[in-house]
Structure 1
Amino acid sequence: MQRHNDRQRWASAFALFAALLTGAAQAAPGSWVAQVPGMMVAMSDRQSASQHAAPPPDAPVQGGAINRIQWRFQHPPGQTVNAWLCQSERCTALTGMRGSTRAFAGEPASVPLHFRFTLPAGKPPVRVRGMQVIVNYQ
């Protein structure tokens, strides 16, 4: 009986050591997705901000840090906007209507994001729609 208990203890200790060595004891990665209602962008000299994209209430994001964010939005063909993705007042310029960024890596995954837009000078108003973010966190 003693030999069996010793084996169990050694097996448990080895399993714990292996988990720590391989990083399996780290927090589990996750992601959350948020859609944002469309909006009209009408000015070139002042940014228009979207509604906030926040994690769902049941998302286990507390203590999680952003790894990567994927975004997308749409506007009519032939029209352009200047776009940024922001968390609080920290923003990163977006290079197109879809893409991904690590600009917010390490920031809290629980803090909402939002889009900001302006028009190029002299351009007519543009309706932006289909705004979405996918936040991957650890």
Structure 2
Amino acid sequence: MPTLLVCLATAAGAATVSWTASPAAVRVAGADRDYRSEALRPPAPAAGLVPARFSWAYRVHGGPPPRAWLCQADRCVRLHGARGRAPAPSRWRADAPLRFRFRLADGAAPVRVDRLRLTVTGAVVGQSGE
């Protein structure tokens, strides 16, 4: 899973940091359980990141799109559509992994979700881009 890190300095002594990860495809096979992506972790330079917002994208093959969430432990945000952006929940931590989670509607055919991409943006206090 390649990860990209971008850092922009601000005058207040905090750096705005974004990291992007692309997990492997997920096969969502039944409505009776949740299917999760591999864990998405920030690169070491973003370990102190205070998440502020995130964006996502994915593609669905084989049937109607499943319900989707982005989760950190039991704190999940519903993803409305295969692409979008949203504010990060205030309880998300920089040092805990994130995962995509999918569930089929009752009676829906199995699907493959690929081209998953997550970008998390926030501030790392006390750093600058110098």
TM-score of the superposed pair, with normalisation by structure 1: 0.75
What is the distance in 1 between the residues matched to 2:71 and 2:20?
15
**TM-score under structure 2 length normalisation:** 0.79
Residue in structure 2 matching 1:45, options 16, 32, 49: 32
Bigger mean CA deviation after superposition, 98-107 or 85-94 = 98-107
Structure number with higher helix proportion: 1
Gaps of 5+ in 2: 1-9, 124-130
Shift of 1:64: 1.9
Instruction: Confirm or deny: 8 A CA contact 1:68 1:102 kept in the other structure.
Output: yes
Q: Distance in 1 between matches of 2:58 and 2:85?
A: 12
Give yes or no for the alignment of 1:67 onto 2:88: no
Gaps of 5+ in 1: 1-22
Match for residue 136 of structure 1 among 112, 115, 121: 121
- CA deviations on 1:3-53 (whole Å, 9 max, x unpaired) are xxxxxxxxxxxxxxxxxxxx7233211110100100110111211111111
Greater strand fraction, Structure 1 or Structure 2: 2
Q: 1:33 aligns with which of 3, 16, 20?
A: 20
Count of residues in correspondence between the two structures:
114
Runs of 4 or more above 6 Å deviation: none
Q: Answer whether contact 2:68 2:100 (CA < 8 A) is retained.
A: yes
Cα RMSD for the two superposed structures: 1.8
Verify the 8 A CA contact 2:51 2:88 in the aligned structure 1: no
The structural deviation recorded for 1:106 is 5.9
User: C-alpha separation between the residues in 2 aligned to 1:126 and 1:77?
Assistant: 5
